Structure 1
Amino acid sequence: MPHGTLVAHDVAELVGVSGTTIGQWARRGYIRSSQRDHEPRLYSVEDVAEAAIVRALLERGVPRPDVRRAVHRLRETSGAWPLSQARLATAGGRLLLHDREAGWLELRPRGWQATSPPEAADEVRLRLQPSTVE
């Protein structure tokens, strides 16, 4: 169950991007607007967490199509807020997922595929921060 009700501007301030970017991410499927999916969209605290992770992945050089593909693939098994539920890392612009049974997996065109443990993997940890965007 989602918590809170925020407009795109409020989400943007917490994540450190513009309100327009939040709306675009919702329309393109990177994040959800779980409280209301028509204009004006309304977001929950859980949606804010997802947006913060999307920003972190993009800042680390993960290509936008990979972020979107990861969201869709993870949503199939992890529910409404898949990025927050997953143990994710990046290494040189590659997106990695740690699975308890399979170990580290890398997102490739055909989906998640086993990979050797990354030496320089940087785990994605959720951090909400004040906006630098005005």
Structure 2
Amino acid sequence: MTPRFDLIGMAVTDMARTLDFYRRLGVQIPAGAETEPHVEVALPGGVRLAWDAVEMVRTFDPDWAPPTGSPRINLAFRCADPAEVDRRWAELTGAGFHGHLAPWDAFWGQRYAVLHDPDGNGVDLFAPLPAS
């Protein structure tokens, strides 16, 4: 069998704050998950997204240390239209989450914005621009 891509996992320092961030992006996360050391959900298409509390990660990798510098990967969320990019950006930054690059019309034909989740992971919002 060929390996099949199945899960994106992230270590988190504040599970409740992280789940709040992803819920605001529309990820369906069960109520009460904030108190769990490991949370995972199936996304449309079957790939799973998972979060592990740093304390949980250190139970099997005691030398784990958070990365430093800029994120090396970004999760990208497609929005219905350019107005939703702006609306989600405003909601998340208004809730105190870090906005890295405010919404702009990118030369590749998308309305685009970049946020950071509570642990500094890049999270992109995008939507196709109307044809001119």
* Structure 1 length-normalised TM: 0.26
Q: Which structure exhibits the higher relative contact order, with contacts defined as CA atoms closer than 8 Å and separated by 6 or more residues?
A: 1
Q: Per residue, is there more helix in 1 or in 2?
A: 1
Greater fraction of residues in strand = 2
TM-score where L is the length of structure 2: 0.27
